[in-house]
Chain A
Amino acid sequence: AQSVTQLDSHVSVSEGTPVLLRCNYSSSYSPSLFWYVQHPNKGLQLLLKYTSAATLVKGINGFEAEFKKSETSFHLTKPSAHMSDAAEYFCVVTFNDYKLSFGAGTTVTVRA
């Protein structure tokens, strides 16, 4: 069975400092991995995805994530947080059956 664990339920950073959101997955097969962002009362927006190409994936808004098979991780980073990055972030995994498994989410707050 596939599953994904987001290690931090809440991350608070100061504006202009780096952001790190941690995600680990469990899998018997090669997964596809995604990071989505959700602003309050909104749908989900895709930040980036990994589908067995380059292990370092660059996404929108300055975010990137690195797939590390040996660590079964797919952590999301951004070098410098902006106030508009305050939102809920979901790490998501699928194994080609079209069903997505969501992590519990990480709430990011950005301090001025």
Chain B
Amino acid sequence: GAVVSQHPSRVICKSGTSVKIECRSLDFQATTMFWYRQFPKKSLMLMATSNEGSKATYEQGVEKDKFLINHASLTLSTLTVTSAHPEDSSFYICSASQDSNYGYTFGSGTRLTVV
């Protein structure tokens, strides 16, 4: 079946630094990738939708300069949290879609802790 690899699974960084999270579709080409943020004991909040080769579409309230998304190829999307602050600490999850008929495959998530 479709597999999405997300790396790293856990990262701790200092305030003010930037962190990059990678999301790779291992056995299919993902025309669309999604980035979600999940707060403790909460549902997933869609942050942005990225399509290969074009700019990401951000949801209302999500700072595009804070959360940089790049979808350079059909198998890789990256989320960079720039100038991270403790309030950015969260669980970030990506998902990839080949097309809607195939469904959506989720990565295993990244636990970001900013100290």
Contacts and interface: CB of A to CB of B under 8 A. Distances in A.
Nearest to B104: A100
* Chain B interface size range: 20 to 34
A96 interface: yes
Given A99-B49, A100-B46, A102-B44, A41 B100 contact: no
A49 interface: yes
A98 interface: yes
Contacts, number: 50
Contacts of B107: 43
Nearest to B4: A43
A15 to B, nearest CB: 23
B56 to A, nearest CB: 13
B69 interface: no
Contacts of B6: 43
Interface residues of A, number: 22
A104 to B, nearest CB: 5
A104 B43 contact: yes
Shortest 10 CB-CB contacts between residues of A and residues of B: A43-B108, A44-B106, A43-B106, A102-B43, A43-B109, A102-B44, A104-B43, A105-B43, A43-B107, A98-B32
24 contacts: A34-B103, A34-B104, A43-B108, A43-B109, A44-B44, A45-B106, A46-B103, A46-B105, A51-B101, A90-B43, A90-B44, A94-B100, A98-B34, A98-B100, A99-B34, A99-B46, A99-B49, A100-B34, A100-B46, A100-B104, A102-B43, A102-B44, A104-B43, A105-B42
